[in-house]
Amino acid sequence: MTDDEIEELLKDHKRYGFPDSIIERELMLGLVKSGDPLFLHKIPEPFLSSIVEFGLSLDGEWFHLSSNGMENYSKHAPKLKSLVQEFVNSAPLGKFIRWR
């Protein structure tokens, strides 16, 4: 997910009033797809905090309720958690102190 794609997603969020959960899901999938914990530096608050807290709370299950019913995204959960933990462990001391 490029900077432009993130910017467009956030503009749509403001324009159409999407729930935060939709934006966060898209950003989490972008993180998983990139496989790069530094991707999280691109994400603004309050979405960054929500994604980090969600990622650290995962225990192997990640479900998303869509218009088609329940879709199982649990295959992404271990990778998401790993990327979030790597990000938090490499963050400058103090910046994410409440997550340590």
Contact 29, 61 (CB under 8 A): no
User: Both tokens of residue 78?
Assistant: 């271990």
Q: What is the pLDDT of residues 31-82, one digit of tens each?
A: 999 999 999 999 999 999 999 998 998 886 776 655 555 566 677 888 999 9
Predicted local distance difference test score (pLDDT) of residue 97: 53
Q: Nearest CA to 5 among 39, 50, 53? A: 39
Predicted local distance difference test score (pLDDT) of residue 71: 60
Predicted local distance difference test score (pLDDT) of residue 66: 57
Give CA separation, 52 vs 44, 66, 68, 69, in Å: 12, 22, 27, 26
Contact 40, 31 (CB under 8 A): yes
Predicted local distance difference test score (pLDDT) of residue 51: 93
* Domain residue limits at 60: 3-99
Number of domain units in the chain = 1
Work out the pLDDT band at 10, boundaries 50, 70, 90: very high
Q: pTM of the predicted model, to two decimals? A: 0.78
Distance from C-alpha of 21 to C-alpha of 37, rounded to nearest angstrom: 20
Q: What is the pLDDT of residues 19-39, one digit of tens each?
A: 888 899 899 989 999 999 999
Higher pLDDT, 63 or 1: 1
User: Both tokens of residue 24?
Assistant: 């966060």
Sign of CA dihedral 76, 77, 81, 84: positive
